[in-house]
Structure 1
Amino acid sequence: MTDSLKTSDGLRGPGIFLAQFIADQAPFDNLANIAQWAASLGYKAIQLPTLDARFIDLQRAAESQAYCDELKAVCAEAGVEISELSTHLQGQLVAVHPAFDELFDDFAPAHLRGKPAERTAWAIDQLKLAARASQRLGLTAHATFSGALVWPFVYPWPQRPAGLVELGFAELAKRWLPILDCFEQAGVDLCYEIHPGEDLHDGASFERFLEAVNHHPRAAILYDPSHLLLQQMDYLGFIDRYHPRIRMFHVKDAEFRPDACSGVYGGYQDWVQRPGRFRSLGDGQIDFKSIFSKLTQYGYDGWAVLEWECCLKDARQGAAEGVAFIERHMIEKTRKAFDDFAGVSADAASNRRLLGLPEA
Structure 2
Amino acid sequence: MKLLQALFFPPEQPGGVSSMIPYLQDKFNPPHWEMELFSLPKRIRSKGSEPVEFHTFDWHKYEESPIVQKYIQTYRDYLWWTKLRIKRPYDLIHAHHPIAGLAMKEVFPDTPVVQSVHSSYERELILNGRIKENGLEHSFLTSIYRELEYKTDKMITVSRSFVEYLSPFVEHPDNVSVIPNGFDEKRFKPVPHENEVAQLVTVCRLVPAKGLDILLKACAELKSRGLSYVLHIIGDGPIRTELEELAQRLGIYDETIFYGYTLHPEEFMPFFDIFVLPSRAEAFGSVFAEAALCSLALVGTAVGGVAEQIEDGSNGLLVASEDYLGLADALEKVIVDPSFRYELARTGSDHAKSHYSLNRVVHELKKIYLQFH
The verdict on a shared fold, with TM-score over 0.5 as the criterion, is no
> What is the TM-score with the length of structure 1 in the denominator?
0.34
Higher relative contact order (Cα pairs below 8 Å, separated by 6+ residues): 1
> What is the TM-score with the length of structure 2 in the denominator?
0.33
Larger-gyration structure (1/2): 1
